[in-house]
Structure 1
């Protein structure tokens, strides 16, 4: 990846389109990092408040490191990358705050071949969940929904995801399919920039307090949906997951 830190920055436009039971759409702009878990950026001291990559901000042991936690999760599913590269797309902790609605990990074996993709989803209740995916050559994969995200959707249906590994362009799509049809589409589109001191300063200047703004934006949209009369769905107890969809097991190969 370009840049002295072996990482990339993506200037992104994130869009959500809800189509059922009512139509509601919004978008916002932000920036995301693409980093190698074995080569996390080492920023000079004055810039460190703008970007920290810490295990406590993701699933796993907060006292371990990101790579070890991901390898442990994969081992639970019988997967050993044998030291192969893992790329992570995420917000960094910036000025003491971080919120990642979705973090994506692209996992390769020692020869560089893709093995799997992990989508780690965070909700606004400080809960987190991982989906293990085996995408096809275009990055397409399906999985049952087993985690409460939006308070306006129950935990049912399934996701159709398109998560190709980023290059010059970043293009991710997540569709939520429920009985009766597609209920939600979320997209992330972005253009790659080298992660350099000047590049980071520019991104932080264009999107100040970026992750805090993302959190606030989600809550504002929730209030708008409440004002439109959309009912809140009860949040399941932790560990209470619905049955998987027919033909799905949460880690579907295509």
Structure 2
């Protein structure tokens, strides 16, 4: 069942079309919505936006769930993008409690293949000391070792990393994302590496669904305004022409875990082969981002946002 998009549907597959008035979300319609599974049979499963909140995304999710219930699996093809690529990106931080505040700045983010790292000298290079693992080994070897220790074999595979480069003698990555592809170029896992401004580091191993979504418990103190409680909801689809990474911190203070406390996103488009001019503009990205994060923290402190004590961080094995 679909709303719109009729030009993208094979006419020979259409069973029926009709116009109807979209139901309002009233107690009666919500109660009826909860009974929708009752009309399904072993051979017919219904799907549509009315299985959620009426958005196209709800229709897509329920359609996928219906297909899987009928025994069909959708293995989305993975098409890794060309690398290296330098994306013009926008970082957005949104605090939702106890007051709402949004912080946005533009930056540049690299996507690189760890088997073929670019080296632009002082304007941008990638060093193992800035990432997880042993600084005496390569970034790729460290990621592979991290995966192996957790039961993921990446033999003959490759890793694509989205991160700031070390430039002008400085590197800071609040988040680096490693997409780990097997020998068939299919996604085997994603490693999300998080750094805080205190010099701590933690890596999260996740196995996203077909839409790039995953959930993991928070393990490291990142902001002085948050503790280590809660869990992250991640969106880390494999980049292409666009790069999209999103992180939402949800509180565990209630039984549902639905309270979104904070969210951050990194979005942008690839800008083609990096020219010297773009390299010059991108070089201060890590330093600028670090300064802006601290300045934003000072503003929140000035608004008397409570400080959460920083616990000792236990070093993570292999990180």
Confirm or deny a common fold (TM above 0.5): yes
Shift of 1:203: 4.7
* CA distance in 2 between partners of 1:22 and 1:154 (Å): 17
Match of 1:93 among 150, 159, 166: 166
Aligned match for 2:298, one of 213, 216, 223: 223
Q: Is the 8 A contact 2:148 2:154 kept in 1?
A: no
Q: 2:107 is paired with a residue of what secondary structure?
A: strand
Distance 1:51 1:21 in 2: 39
Task: Classify the secondary structure of the residue corresponding to 1:239.
Answer: coil
Unmatched 5+ residue regions in structure 1? 242-254
Partner of 2:285: 210
User: How far apart are residue 240 of structure 1 and its match?
Assistant: 8.9
1:204–1:210 Cα contact (<8 Å) kept? no
Offset of residue 79 of structure 1 = 1.0
In structure 1, distance between residues paired with 2:160 and 2:284: 24
Task: Give the CA deviation at 1:134.
Answer: 0.3
Distance in 1 separating the partners of 2:241 and 2:175: 20
CA distance in 2, matches of 1:240, 1:20: 30
Deviation at 1:208, TM superposition (A): 5.4
How many residues align structurally? 231
Q: How does 1:1-254 map to 2 (within 5 A)?
A: 1-2=81-82, 6-41=83-118, 43=119, 47-178=120-251, 179-180=253-254, 181-196=259-274, 198=275, 200-205=276-281, 207=282, 209-239=284-314
Cα deviation, 1:19-46, whole Å, max 9, x if unaligned, reads 01221211001101000011111x4xxx
Residue by residue over 1:194-236, the C-alpha shift from the partner in whole angstroms, topping out at 9 and shown as x without a partner, is 233x1x522532x552211101100001100110001111111
**1:83-125, Cα deviation, whole Å (9 max, x unpaired):** 2121000000011011100000000111111110000000000
Q: Which has the higher contact order (CA 8 A, sep 6+)?
A: 1
Cα deviations across residues 59-95 of structure 1 (Å, max 9, x unaligned)? Answer: 1111111011111111110111112121000000011
- TM-superposed CA distance for 1:151, in Å, is 0.7
* More off after superposition, 65-74 vs 187-196: 187-196
Cα distance between partner residues in 2 of 1:96 and 1:67: 22
Which of structure 1's runs of 4+ aligned residues deviate more than 3 A? none
Does the Cα contact within 8 Å between 2:236 and 2:245 map onto a contact in 1? yes
1:195 aligns to what SS in structure 2? coil
Root mean square deviation, CA, Å: 1.5
> Measured at CA, do residues 231 and 240 of structure 1 come closer, stay the same or move farther in structure 2, by a change above 3 Å?
farther
> Is the 1:11–1:203 Cα contact (8 Å) retained in structure 2?
no
> Aligned-pair distance for 1:170?
1.1
Q: Which structure 2 segments of 5+ residues have no match?
A: 1-80
Structure with greater proportional strand content: 1
**Displacement of 1:159 after TM fit?**
0.4
